[in-house]
Structure 1
Amino acid sequence: MLLNIGESIKRRRKALKITQPYLADLAEVSVNTIFKIESGEANPTIEVITKIADVLGMKIQLVIKNINEPEDENS
């Protein structure tokens, strides 16, 4: 299964029990930006991805890797 950036961010945000408004505040972006990224309506810039990844404690390489590599079908 391929994940897009929004799905990866949403999964991590929910695992940390962080709301969209709180994430937006910490990452210094709008709530609408977070919503659009998570819903796949927007393609964030590398700058925005970096801000969000930093807040969520994710390495940007892992966020991007999730969209480029399919999940092992045997797992």
Structure 2
Amino acid sequence: MNDVAITTEYIALGQFLKLAGCIDTGGAAKFFLQETPIRINGEADNRRGRKLYNGDIVEVEGFGAFTVVKR
């Protein structure tokens, strides 16, 4: 599992995907989420604006699992 560090209280799922290296641009998030299964803390979710907080676990099919870590 890879850690993805944030410096704010939360990060939106679309921004997280870019930070984690799953997509190249934030604009690609909408299409990526339509085609790629994502699980957040074990529950399926595909909302770009979903807020992720410290300790959340994000599983992206084909990319692996990531943990949100506040720094």
TM-score (norm. length: structure 1): 0.37
The structure carrying a bigger strand percent of its residues is 2
The structure carrying a bigger helix percent of its residues is 1
Q: Find the structure with the greater CA-based Rg.
A: 1
